[in-house]
Amino acid sequence: ASKAHLLQTLATIQNQATHNDLTILTYSGHGVDKTGEMVMAHTDSDGYVPSIEALLVTPNELLTAMGKIDGRKLIILDSCVSGVFVPESESSLSTVLVNGIDDWYAKFWEEPGYNLPDLYVLTASALADSYEDPDSTDHSHGVFTITLLEALGWNHPHGVDISTIEPGTPPALRGSVITVDSLYTYIKKNQDLPIRWNILKPSQEYQHPLVSGGAMDMVLFRF
């Protein structure tokens, strides 16, 4: 999972995808402190890395490469400071990088109407750390990823066969569809960590997932 392989794969998908396709990219790994870049693997067999920058994928690089793909796109990131990948849109500002009420007010009252975006980003955290399941003994998932799998109906307690998804209705189903927002809502409500720092327990870990802003939602699957 190197940077070169990632960009090459996205370029291949770009040449093949059609307007009717849904492309989902998931990443579970390290995010650089304060800036959030994805840390990828190196390709040198001797393990020598000439510079850390050669391993990093920036928000601009990933969003640009995904944006060139036709059809609908969803990026799911379980890494620290991953909220920096949530893009601004014609109908929203990034609440991670822009926090001025004047900017939000001006955006809300702009003349242009909302356009339905074709690229959404769902992340484990904003400008904070993300955490792994502390009870895992066989394979580690992030707290965010565990809850995402539960939302899709793939709830696998430790020691249970994970080769199949449990039958039944996915918990994140909203009516007859699963949407980006229904996944986000389920994760916020059901993840093991609180979504905000507790003044009564200042040492307690917290993790607040984020999703692309604006008034629009994206249907992922119909049942």
Q: What is the DSSP string of the chain?
A: -BHHHHHHHHHHHHHH--TT-EEEEEEES-B-TTT--EE-B---TT---S-GGGGEE-HHHHHHHHHTSSSEEEEEEESTTGGGGSPPBTTB--TTT---HHHHHHHHT-SS-----SEEEEES-SSS---B-TT-SSS--BHHHHHHHHHTT----TTS--SSPPSS--TT-BTTEEEHHHHHHHHHHH-SS-SS-BTTBTT------EE--SS---EEEE-
pLDDT at 194: 86
Instruction: Decide if pLDDT at 16 tops 70.
Output: yes
Average pLDDT taken over every residue of the chain: 83
Q: What is the pTM of this model?
A: 0.85
3-222 CATH: 3.40.50
pLDDT at 88: 73
Please tell me the least confidently modeled range out of 29-38, 99-108, 141-150, 192-201. 99-108
Give the pLDDT band (50/70/90) at residue 57: very high
